[in-house]
Amino acid sequence: MTNTFAAANAELSRCVVASSRPIFEKPTTAIQPPFGIRPFRCFSGKYPLFSLSPQGRHSLSNSRILSMLKKDSDGAGGLTYKDAGVDIDAGSELVRRIAKMAPGIGGFGGLYPLGDSYLVAGTDGVGTKLKLAFETGIHETIGIDLVAMSVNDIVTSGAKPLFFLDYFATSHLDVDLAEKVIKGIVDGCQQSDCTLLGGETAEMPDFYANGEYDLSGFAVGIVKKDSVIDGKNIVAGDMLVGLPSSGVHSNGFSLVRRVLARSGLSLKDQLPDAAVTLGEALIAPTIIYVKQVLDLISKGGVKGIAHITGGGFTENIPRVFPKGLGAVIYKDSWKVPAVFKWIQQAGKIEDAEMRRTFNMGIGMVLVVSQEASHRILKDANGAFTAYCIGEVVTGEGVSYH
């Protein structure tokens, strides 16, 4: 390590400690992991698999989140996510193959038994939304996205986030820029009521373009074994309650950037039928649902939860269902934000592709009993926004009516 980098890293550490101090209500201690915990990382350093499994037996569930970012290709017709370089089918196939090597893969978070509880772990990044941060110069909120992507995943099991770790990599450490990014991470931890326990700052000359960086985040939470939300009790007739998103959140930006290039507009141009620019609409940070979801769980009737990320409704909702069950989505049951209408129109994207790629204005879906659905919608009146967006039906897959 060079003296220059050591000094820059020390300065960044000082900035992080100063900005994160408010969330440390009591001293935190990093404890050496017990025997039997085996970190599982393979395939690619850029797209790691984070899995914790007890030695000699498989864990209850592991998470596998795949991100594929490749150079866009063009097409004269309607754009697809695959045109933009992301092949959802290939990702699903890889997950199936990994599941043969590590059974239990497929949940939103990985569960590890600990006494009468489970630790629930998740990891993610923010994909090519980083490109938007580079182009707009807005770095203060991308850290909120980073935290959101992991804590929103682990709360689907009913887990309360405990702590968060981050990884920040760049070719040349710009302390002022990095401080902005990490300030966003601190904000995200405060919103999800968890501790920023630590992280890694890596300076790798010539690896990234000038002024660019990459981010990864890792969250760990806890839930009592008798309180796990696992979808096992879902039955036909249960209802789907949707919580609104702030926009695109942190998925689908490879396709968004391709649409933007085709449209001829810039990030400074106004979003049609809205009072904000395209850049402002697209950079809006991902909503952190932790406190709201935990509150709804505490009132009873929540049987399953799906975080609507890459794969949209079509891929994510079925992940929480027992075999033999599917969903019907009521297409006109919520207002689709203007940004999605612009993306679809400018990219000439088919309805099915939009629903398989974007959240379409619903960032979290709760599968609840009919009684709980009525209560949630009644409580939401004026206090928060929630929609009854569909129901569970016999048969597999997701249909739209």
Tokens of 117: 């509880």
169/384 Cα distance (integer angstroms):
37
- DSSP classification of residue 334: S
User: What integer pLDDT is reported at residue 215 of this predicted model?
Assistant: 98
* pTM as predicted: 0.81
For the chain, state the CA radius of gyration. 21
Per-run averaged pLDDT (10 residues), the chain, 401 residues: 52 53 38 33 31 33 38 59 81 81 77 97 96 96 98 98 98 97 98 98 97 98 98 98 98 96 95 95 98 98 97 94 97 96 97 96 98 96 93 97 94
User: What integer pLDDT is reported at residue 76 of this predicted model?
Assistant: 52
Handedness of CA 149, 153, 158, 160 (dihedral sign): negative
Give the 3-state secondary structure of residue 65: coil
User: What integer pLDDT is reported at residue 96 of this predicted model?
Assistant: 80
Tokens of 78: 């309607």
User: What integer pLDDT is reported at residue 346 of this predicted model?
Assistant: 97
- DSSP H or E segment with residue 244: strand 239-244
User: What integer pLDDT is reported at residue 35 of this predicted model?
Assistant: 31
Find out whether 125 and 214 touch, Cβ atoms under 8 Å: yes
